[in-house]
Amino acid sequence: MISPKEKMLLRSFAVFSAATFAGLVFAQMGARSPEEEVVEMDAIHVSTTLGNYAETTAATGSKISMEVMNMPSTLQMLNASFLEDRNAESLEDVYNYVLGLARMSGGATDFTLRGFSSQGAGLNLHNMQTDGLPGLTTRFGSPNTANIERVEVLKGPSSLLYGLVTPGGIINLVTKRPQEAFHGKVSASIATYAGFISSFGDETSYKGTVDVTGPIDRNKHWLYRMIFRVDDLGSFRRNNYEKNQYYYPSLTYVWDKNTRLNLQVEVLRQKRLADYIGIPVPFNNLAYLPSYDSSYSNPDDNERDLGEALTVTFDHRFANDWMLRIGGRSSNNRNSRRQLDFASLKSVLPVQNSTLTRRYRRFEGNNNRVNFLDINAYGDVGPQGFKNTLLVGMSYGIDLVGLTRLAHGPNVAAIPLYQIPAAVPYPADGTGQSKTRTEYGMYSVYASDHIKIGEKLMPSFGFRYDYQDGKTANLLSATNLSKTTSAAVPNAGVLYRFTSELSSYVSYSSSFFPNSLTSYDADNNQGFDPQTATQWEIGTKVTGLNGKLNATLSAYAIRMKNVLEATGNYNAQGNPISRLDGEQESRGIELETTWLVLPNWQVKAGISYLDAKVSQSNNPTLVDTRLTSVPRTTADFWTRYNVAEGALKGFGIGLGVTYQGPYPTEITGLSLPGRTLVDVALYYQWRRYKMALNVANALDAKYIANLSQDLKGVWPGNPRTITLSIEAPF
């Protein structure tokens, strides 16, 4: 009898084999026959050199490819070399190495950056983008890195270029593109815990990826890339699991060196245990926390993410070197969940008698859709001594969130908090049904001018005008609400390039974000004014040793107004009362550096300190209180060294240390303690094959990672995790 896990592995192997064979055949469609050419195999060479973690140019900070040293902003980049060395197979694997970032809950798309949450107004997330365009294919899970070339984190308000974003910053996922030379590889990994809560081999996870790229025709006008990824993930927590499949086909047509069209498709299928309770905390005291492997979900609780996206980009360079760029993305996510969710916690003494009451919850057919189009053109005008790099653009987008709830209750019988819960039957659907649809239409025009006066002085200016039309409808009660908002978003900065290796800047940036349409004031009115934010930042950038040493030191102050907060009270119509609760501010300083010490020795390090708090409020007791899920200090260090010669040539070692300070949470009275985590890795290259043994949380620290996704319990951090991976080219 074949077990379900063995069936999964056999299916995965079959799909891997088919994808690999298809890639090989597809790549040879335009190849010459054996009579036309002689194929010479490359000599086998074991390289000990490392790719530089630093990138010298980027487009995320300005939508114009420009030197990082000339950007009056902070842009942190985690490139392919770093992602590979860290064996980062999902986005959350590198979050500890992003300065000023903290997870808010179990979802990797829910985070704080420079003190401010990435979420707001119940809209689709725009603080995480793909190739500079909004629209994720997952709602609950973490984006994986099989299709990611690098991760670029633009700090601070960025509405000038990206519109509807909260002020902490954006994470831009730069994807892999088809290449002109044929290349294929198969990679696979197996992981297990080996720590305080789960022994070696108790729970095992499997991941595998096929990546094939190359030309279709002999003249290399048509290029393709096919990436397939499958996950079968275990967990140290009872009943938890995750099974994922990802498909990333892409096609590029190269008309000539000045014109290129690219099409990319994303298909995602995720299924996991629906576990939004986390581990409840009696008396909000972590000393009473149940065992880290506790799980209060019904064994049949599950949630699914089904997502697809199509991205089309067109680039054309004119004879005068002006560039036209058109980017369109359409993404759709459908999600469902059936579970026993958190209803209430009864904390009593002795604490062993505490109980948890769960509530039945089910929704099907939830829909998150983003359609977005961005068109811009940029180029240089003016003489060499007063050169203006102008960018003009327009964007249009529709965000749609449809929620269909089949059940929100009733409660089921309370269970002892410190015992393993038995499976119980689900109640019938029908309680607390709802069906809502919220839609935002966004229209904007923007422009910027990066000026170079002489060789050293570089002022810049930008302006965006946004118009947004929001509509929400309760499809069961046939009630509707609409609200239009608009805003002018200015940006400015000046940078001075003292030498080719040193520059300093000061900049001003702003953002604009609508508040929820479904919130009510004391008079039962809806449609609050939007949030606005501004940032002042100063910084210095250093590069040296022919680009091998790079560092950025920046200080900033962000102020956000019109913050919508729940009061905890209800109006005469029974709706919860919210209000615009004054202002929040964040002040901080960051230092990040990368250093390629030797061709075979690489170092990355950084430290961030920020103070984020309520600066004004209608509730005097909240003034000067810290913002939740915001550690004051984050720091990271990572290094890799390869043995360059001798009997151990081909071996390498990696070491990382990350620190995140303590912070208050959404649970009143509960703060999470700080944590220091150590990661180690061993590498070996034999012929063309790469092998790695990564040990995350190598010292097996016992820590709380963040709150659960319903913000009622906590998520324990992973114990020591050992991952063995191998990569084979073909």
Buried b (16+ CB within 10 A) or exposed e, 54-93: bbeebbbbbbbebebbbbbbbbbbbbbbbbbbbbbbbbbb
First and final C-alpha spacing in the chain: 35
- Measured CA to CA, the distance from residue 542 to residue 549 in angstroms comes to 8
Number of alpha carbons in the 13 Å side-chain half-sphere of residue 449: 11
Identify the pLDDT of residue 51. Answer: 81
Phi first, then psi: give them for residue 195, nearest 5 degrees.
Answer: -140, -160
* Plot region of 409 (φ>0 → left; ψ -120 to 50 → alpha; else → beta): left
Identify the pLDDT of residue 121. Answer: 52
Q: Which residue has the tokens 């942190």?
A: 76
Q: CB-based contacts of 645: which residues, under 8 Å, 6+ apart?
A: 48
CB 107 within 8 A of CB 143: no
Identify the pLDDT of residue 150. Answer: 94
Identify the pLDDT of residue 582. Answer: 80
- Measured CA to CA, the distance from residue 131 to residue 134 in angstroms comes to 8
How far does CA 517 lie from the centroid of its chain? Answer: 25
Q: Give a three-class secondary structure readout of 539-581.
A: EEEEEECCCCEEEEEEEEEEEEECCEEEEEEECCCCCEEEEEC
Closest C-alpha among 406, 471, 402, 468 to residue 437: 402
- Measured CA to CA, the distance from residue 165 to residue 157 in angstroms comes to 7
**DSSP codes of every residue in 242-286:** EEEEEEEEEEEEEEETTEEEEEEEEEEEEEE----S-B--GGG-G
| 691 C-beta neighbours (distance < 10 Å), count | 15
Closest C-alpha among 663, 689, 665, 664 to residue 675: 663
- Measured CA to CA, the distance from residue 485 to residue 284 in angstroms comes to 40
CB 373 within 8 A of CB 314: no
In order of 302, 332, 592, the CA distances from 227 in angstroms are: 27, 20, 32
Please give the radius of gyration of the chain, using alpha carbons only, rounded to the nearest integer.
Answer: 26
pLDDT tens digits, 389-432? 999 999 999 999 999 999 999 999 999 999 999 999 999 998 88
Identify the pLDDT of residue 163. Answer: 86
Domains plus CATH for the chain? Answer: 4-30+46-729 (2.40.170.20)
Q: Kindly compute the dihedral angle of the four CA atoms of residues 458, 173, 177, 399, in this order, to the nearest 10 degrees.
A: -100
Phi first, then psi: give them for residue 181, nearest 5 degrees.
Answer: -100, 140
In order of 118, 183, 660, the CA distances from 157 in angstroms are: 11, 39, 23
pLDDT tens digits, 594-650? 999 999 999 999 999 999 999 988 788 889 999 999 999 999 999 999 998 888 998
Q: Output the six-digit token pair for 245.
A: 């499949």
Buried b (16+ CB within 10 A) or exposed e, 577-607: bbbbbbbbbbbbbbbbbbbbeeebbbbbbbb
Identify the pLDDT of residue 108. Answer: 66
CA angle 35, 38, 44 (to 5 degrees): 155
Phi first, then psi: give them for residue 633, nearest 5 degrees.
Answer: -125, 130
CB 144 within 8 A of CB 137: no
Which residues of the chain are modeled with pLDDT < 70? Answer: 1-47, 106-108, 120-125, 568
In order of 261, 334, 475, 597, 726, the CA distances from 600 in angstroms are: 37, 46, 62, 8, 20
CB 86 within 8 A of CB 97: yes
Beta-strand pair 169-175/128-130? parallel
Q: What is the pTM of this model?
A: 0.89
CB 505 within 8 A of CB 494: yes
How far does CA 418 lie from the centroid of its chain? Answer: 34
CB 115 within 8 A of CB 157: no
- Measured CA to CA, the distance from residue 113 to residue 132 in angstroms comes to 18
